[in-house]
Structure 1
Amino acid sequence: MSTSFSLVNKTAESKVYVSLSSPEAQLKKIITEHHFNRRLEILLPSDIYDGQLQSLIELNGISFGTNSKYYHTTTSLGSFLKSEYLDPFIKQNNCLVLSLGSIDRDDVYCIYDGVLRLSLRKETFERAGLQGKLSSYSKSRYIVQFDLRRPSMVLGNKAFDRLVWATENSPLRQPVQFLVRTYLAAKSSSSLPELPVALNAVPYEPTCLISHYSDEVIVPPLYPNKSVLQFKASKYHSVDRRIRSEYAVEVLKEGLLHILEWTALLSVESERIQASNQIDPLLSTYQVFADDNDDENDPKRRSCKVTKIAIEGFLGVDMVYDMFKSLQDRLPMISWAVFTVNGFEDAPVSWKSDEHSFLISGDNDYAIVIRPGRTANNDRSTIVYEIVGSADAHS
């Protein structure tokens, strides 16, 4: 059974939502509804990588099983509304389009699943004359949306004609930088045509860097609900059941935050989590989270070498999900792994259609900690962290 709750208060710069032992369907939803991904990182024991997972990465690139190519172009928004792009890539197949402006200062756009979403400055919105709604996080921004797959989205339709006019006669006509990724529809048996020459799109492949940590790191117990911070009742007076329950929740939250902090330190290869760490407590008091009866021979706290696989580019959800499933299927049941995905900080949305903004923090990430063993429902045991900035509709 999955348990979900928030780890931080409403005044924090970022929001962290956590789910324990999520079923496969929920894991798939979290991954496939997070459309705009710029980095994928996998951390796991080096001996497991060498023995079980090296085949995930081919010598000549990335074994995703799908086309991983994406494009960079500088053009106007109207280029994607012309029939030579709109018909084959949006209406008949699929594409991801993301502008590279700053969501706090510029007009930013994105397309996925055939839907065009615009986050516009007030001046642009008024001059374009489009229908939209006020942003949830700013009185000087507006959100506009068009489903380009609707049969009515053709020349001659009043709403579509107005959109085309706006891309030619308002600030929307200005060329901006875009990232573009195209892929076939699920049931398509044909191949994708080449991108229109007018886009002047330059193709790129994701970059992949594999690094092996030189020092062993301490791996904490990944089951915070079994931590040392259990409530000890006083022998002099009884304790209300509600207080016990509230305390248990706070203990669980603290343990989950410790694990999230450990994954971040692991990602940057911090010396603080190395088995050989001898830092003076006056300089740093951090210690890897441990149980009360923890010792060097405890398998839950063993130290090991770690391998990091870091992939960067414009990563589609099909690519990310294929990578996660391959990792999950090949990872031995006795082992652990951390699967982290970072989104674009200036994307107009985070998950699905949830409005995203930068303001204080543009966090737009999630991390899946795969724990040893299975749940009662025979799913792989996991901890899922969803991290977004405070100005984000995702919850």
Structure 2
Amino acid sequence: MSCGSRPFLACPRHLLVCEKSSFLQEKSRHSTHVETHYYNYCVSILLPECALLPEKLKHIIEGMGTYYLVKNLPLHEFLTEEFNDRFLKKGLFYALSYNTRIDQDNVAAVLPTGKLIVSVNKDTYEELGLQGKPSLYSGKNPMRYIVTIDLTDSAMSPDGKKFQRVRWALTEKKPLNFDFLFTWDNTEEPSILSYFSKYVVKECQFKINSGVSRELNCPVLKSDELHGKEEESCSATEFFEWLGAISNNIDWENESSSFISSFCCPEPNILIEQAHLCTITGFITPAKIQKLVKQLREYFNEPKLSQWVSLMVHGFADSPVSWRESEHGFFKGGENLYCFVIFNNEDYWLQMAVGTNDGCPP
């Protein structure tokens, strides 16, 4: 594993953690990394030497279901015993405030662990009167605070003093309303639509974009050469940059001496006939990503021309957390993302990246 920064004068620092392992290893942490990155808005799958999505993978992508946008919802709606019983106790409920900027606005999220996290400016924090902690990225004079409320805590029972104080703060002292994105991996009733029917609720569909690139220079990868030391494989860092360019349709057909752009495909590389890139955009839960990872592992059950495929996951730039409850901030780009390179021998590379206002990924 390696964690490094790039202290260029013109560029903000970012962190990239790279590790290699095998899905077959008992201590493999791949599931944990996926399950604890809660707020994901985009997944990109790259299949070298592939023109059409395999039917099983296509079925998973097209069967992702829906997510929801609830307008102008007060935070105190999360405090009710009914909400706790019907959603939190049944597990895997996710909520994230929509169109709120983590560096400028108040932001809120409900984690699948049942915790409500509210990131607020100094004025709002003082008006709320709830216990919190200064943001890790506020400097010596904090202008932002993080309030965490465990909605499943026994002290949050309706007759408890803690519950009464939190409810009073959010209903009378400083009511906070947000537009929220909701998603839930539990298909049992009640549905989000029916439970929040007194509010404006919009059912949202995932956006799926799929396309094939022809005659593509593609890096050569060997699963055991994370750092490319033997010059028989591109390094994980070089591949990460190349994949980002491919995913964003950035021109990579340049010479290293080009004045306009020096970006070119890293060495060693080969020319492949085609590569399929599929991008899914929406509020994507870790459980859905786990299904995609599982299916990509099974992709190699039949012989393929390529020895690897990749899956890149982008987190919401303005979510209050990255992994678990690690505070996430926005300095230049708000990036928090990870990428699996899945090899045909069940090895994988995992790359995790965050920006300036984040700690080192787990």
TM-score where L is the length of structure 1: 0.78
1:54 equivalenced with 2:55 (yes/no):
yes
Q: Equivalents in 2 of 1:284, 1:161: separation in Å?
A: 59
1:96 equivalent in structure 2: 94
Structure 1 position 63, deviation (Å): 3.3
Q: Equivalents in 1 of 2:180, 2:317: separation in Å?
A: 15
Q: Is the 8 A contact 1:228 1:290 kept in 2?
A: no
Q: Is the 8 A contact 2:256 2:264 kept in 1?
A: no
Q: Give the match's secondary structure for 1:18.
A: strand
Higher helix share: 1
Q: Equivalents in 2 of 1:204, 1:388: separation in Å?
A: 28
Q: 1:204 corresponds to which letter in structure 2?
A: C
Alignment of 1:1-395 (within 5 A): 4-9=1-6, 12-21=12-21, 23=23, 25-47=28-50, 50=52, 53-58=54-59, 62-64=62-64, 68-74=65-71, 75-100=73-98, 101-112=100-111, 113-138=113-138, 139-171=142-174, 173-184=175-186, 191-193=189-191, 194-213=194-213, 215-223=214-222, 225-226=227-228, 255-273=235-253, 281-291=258-268, 301-331=270-300, 332=303, 334-371=306-343, 373-374=344-345, 380-395=346-361
**For 1:58-89, what per-residue CA distance to the aligned partner results, in whole angstroms no more than 9, with x for missing partners?**
49x6135xxx3211012111122233423211
Q: Equivalents in 1 of 2:291, 2:190: separation in Å?
A: 20
Q: Equivalents in 1 of 2:260, 2:91: separation in Å?
A: 56
Gapped runs of 5+ residues in structure 2?
Answer: none
Gapped runs of 5+ residues in structure 1?
Answer: 231-251, 292-299, 375-379
Cα distance 1:111–1:10, how it changes in 2: closer, same or farther (>3 A)? farther
1:243 equivalent in structure 2: none
Q: Is the 8 A contact 2:97 2:108 kept in 1?
A: yes
User: What is the aligned-residue RMSD (CA, Å)?
Assistant: 2.7
Q: Work out which of the two has the higher radius of gyration on C-alpha atoms and give 1 or 2.
A: 1
Q: Equivalents in 1 of 2:255, 2:15: separation in Å?
A: 33
TM-score where L is the length of structure 2: 0.85
Q: 1:110 corresponds to which letter in structure 2?
A: A
Q: Give the match's secondary structure for 1:305.
A: strand
**For 1:133-161, what per-residue CA distance to the aligned partner results, in whole angstroms no more than 9, with x for missing partners?**
11111111111112111223122211111
**For 1:221-268, what per-residue CA distance to the aligned partner results, in whole angstroms no more than 9, with x for missing partners?**
1135455669xxxxxxxxxxxxxxxxxxxxx9x933211111112213
Q: Is the 8 A contact 1:46 1:212 kept in 2?
A: no
Q: 1:326 corresponds to which letter in structure 2?
A: Q
Cα distance 1:301–1:160, how it changes in 2: closer, same or farther (>3 A)? same
Structure 1 position 39, deviation (Å): 0.6
Cα distance 1:281–1:391, how it changes in 2: closer, same or farther (>3 A)? closer
Structure 1 position 315, deviation (Å): 0.7
Amino-acid identity (%): 25
